[in-house]
A and B are shown apart, each in its own frame.
Chain A
Amino acid sequence: MSAEPTVLEVDDLVVHYPIHRGIVGTVTRQPRRMVHAVEGVSLSLQGGEMLALVGESGCGKTTTAQAVLRLVDPVSGSIRFGGRDLVPLGSRELRPLRRRIQVVYQDPYESLDPRFRVRAVVEEPLLIHGLGGSKSERSAHVEEALRRVELSPPELYLDRFPHELSGGQRQRVAIAAALVLEPEVLVADEPVSMLDVSVRAGVLNVLDGLRRDGLAILMITHDLSTAARFAQRIAVMYLGRIVEEGPAAAVVRNPQHPYTKALLSVVPRRDPRDRHRPQILQGETPDAVAIPSGCRFHPRCPVAIDRCAVEDPSLAQPASAGDGHRAACLLLPAGR
């Protein structure tokens, strides 16, 4: 499809968190319980591509992103980036690689230091990594980063404090602070969910422009309509697994997995004439301590059969889907 090289390749990633047992639990040697946050996730990301990881709270999408950023230690699996596997690397070896994978968080009201002017916020990553050369060269890098997020002319923003900016402008500053290091991969964790609807599109269009310029973006979101509009590929997660993955338009227009179908059906449409009966799943995602047997979606699945409680399906291309479109469901007849 695209000639762009793969910049990030995650294979069979597993991340567990221990649950605190408390003093009594530790003294009485209760068994250590684990949250199975991510259970065998594989994904790849090319330059100039946005991959949206979609799912509800607790599905493991943020943990996957944190593992890619090596902010959590995976139990197993590999994360190939820049010709190396990041999983076995220690903090010293990771440091030079961290510059090349940057992150933007959900809340620009929390992620920017209120005492720093915009200039200092965007310059700080350069100082931390000892990059950017002389003071005037750093200044040029900062201004360039602000222009790339469409805060221009930069002089208008350089000396402002975060509280003097709107939410959308703050998030652009946060993106500029990530861009100034010229990363190859940007992880964007719910980058617009805290922003007003009127300014969301502006921030998303900035990310889209950066992607067109060659940046690889891993976007974490719960909003399928945003993912469908801005991402090239979508991966839908449920309880630590990817249950469906493929080109964004294919996943949205020709969903294969019952969970994806349900998620799509509850996305509200703008047109009041376009009312339809949503397929509402009852209950809530079970917690990731006690994973259901077989297909982990079977207790909530509207079409589950007996076999689903026993057999754990793996991702495969169904006969009803196009190339590069895979789903993990026993009821889908296999394609080629």
Chain B
Amino acid sequence: MSAPLLRVEDLHVWFDLAEGGELHAVQGVGLSLEPGERLGLVGESGCGKTTTALAIMGLLPPSASVSGRVLIDGTDILSGGEAAMRPHRWVDVAIVFQGAMNALNPVRTIGEQIVESLELHNRARGTAARSRTAELLEAVGIPAGRAARYPHELSGGMRQRAAIAMALSCDPRVLIADEPTTALDVMVQAQILELLDALCRDFGLALVLVTHDLPVVAQLCDRCAVMYAGEIVERGPLDLLYHSPGHPYSRMLFAASPDLAGLDEPVLSIPGAPPRLDRPIDGCPFRPRCDSAFAACVERPSLQEVAEDHAAACHLNDRVPA
């Protein structure tokens, strides 16, 4: 079997704290992505999903330490440092951030910024770069005439489209979208999700959708990885995650989102809060909030296959006879 397009193995990220000790933000994450696949990376704030995305891009702040492997077509780009990462960043894997206003340069027009990224990566120059820019803007639904606009002259939805166009400028095969619609209105959110859907379909782009919003993932993605306290606690096809979850956290996260199709069902909150990541975690990190915890949970469970292509880190699955 050939190597997957993107594979993350045993990724750890930690930050040394000024007051001593360390904050272990990502604790042994593993992922893989095939061409054209759409993966949702889901969890509460502070669960390590954005840190994982930044580590894949090699965009962690200097204060972060990282270990593990990030493989593109089977080649590790993480251990070689910046020199190994650079030829792949934006070219193979690109990222779109939550606040498009912060990702765009406020004093340059969106057209100039895309031309700049094309020239920087030796993709095109001069007239060719400008016509490629018009194509990119067209592909994300921005009329080419708006290339001469500054970011502040565009609406939130248009800015997010411009950020997506810029991320696509080097024809990446993987697009990581970190909360791409969180700050947007519902109708604009639907427009951006439709655009991401079309980009995956038309250009065979693989998508990693990083979000706290499970219903959005349920509508757009094929597979999902649920993160909790820095690790993946369940991963598999979305249909299995919803209809036969292997981890109580996934089940409870779905139950915490009100749904138009289940108006009479109670909406349940998950009591308590995630554990702090600056101290060692005893046993299963979800145990204090779990509605099904039992004696075995004092041991930290590892991610185990519960079915084909479906894995969960929960002792409840140990009890099910094979």
Contacts and interface: CB of A to CB of B under 8 A. Distances in A.
A222 B185 contact: yes
A268 B209 CA distance: 15
B185 A198 contact: no
Contact of B260 (A230, A269, A280, A282): A269
Contacts of A269: 215, 218-219, 259-261
A200 B269 contact: yes
Given A56-B185, A269-B215, A272-B239, A280 B194 contact: yes
Interface stretch (A14-22, A38-46, A115-123, A258-266): A258-266
Interface stretch (A92-100, A201-209, A321-329): A201-209
Contact of B263 (A229, A264, A266): A229
Given A269-B261, A270-B215, A270-B254, A284 B267 contact: no
A223 B157 CA distance: 18
Interface string A180-216: 0000000000000000111111111100000000000
A284 B188 contact: yes
A252 B267 contact: no
A270 B191 contact: no
A199 to B, nearest CB: 5
B148 interface: no
B151 to A, nearest CB: 16
Contact of A196 (B212, B254, B262, B271): B212
Given A270-B215, A272-B238, A226 B258 contact: yes
Contacts of A57: 185
B297 interface: no
A196 B46 CA distance: 10
A271 B242 contact: yes
B295 to A, nearest CB: 25
A252 B269 contact: no
Interface in B245-288: 252-254, 256-263, 267-271, 273
A196 B213 contact: no
Contacts of B186: 56, 222-224, 263, 266-267
A284 B267 CA distance: 31
Report the interface size class on chain B: 35 or more
A228 B218 CA distance: 20
Contacts of A224: 186, 260
A166 interface: yes
A29 interface: no
A225 B267 CA distance: 11
Contacts of B194: 278, 280
B44 A275 contact: no
B185 A225 contact: no
Contact of A270 (B188, B212, B242): B242
Contacts of A204: 267
B258 A225 contact: yes
Given A200-B269, A272-B219, A267 B260 contact: yes
Interface in A49-98: 56-57
Contact of B190 (A199, A228, A275, A278): A278
A266 B44 CA distance: 23
Q: Which of B44, B45, B256 has the most CB of A within 10 A?
A: B256
Contact of A280 (B190, B215, B273): B190
B311 interface: no
Nearest to A265: B190
B290 to A, nearest CB: 12
Contacts of A270: 214-215, 218, 242, 254, 257, 259, 261-262
A230 B265 CA distance: 11
A271 B218 contact: yes
A275 B219 contact: yes
B187 interface: yes
Contact of B44 (A196, A264, A274): A196
A201 B190 contact: no
B263 A249 contact: yes
Contact of A199 (B191, B261, B270): B270
Given A201-B267, A202-B269, A263-B187, A272 B218 contact: yes
Given A201-B268, A266-B186, A271-B218, A229 B212 contact: no
Given A199-B270, A230-B267, 13 more contacts: A56-B186, A196-B45, A198-B269, A224-B260, A228-B260, A263-B187, A268-B215, A269-B218, A269-B219, A270-B257, A270-B262, A274-B261, A284-B185
By Cβ-Cβ distance, the 8 closest A-B pairs, closest first, are A202-B269, A268-B215, A266-B190, A201-B269, A198-B270, A229-B258, A272-B238, A201-B267
9 contacts: A198-B256, A199-B273, A200-B256, A205-B269, A228-B258, A230-B267, A268-B218, A270-B218, A280-B190
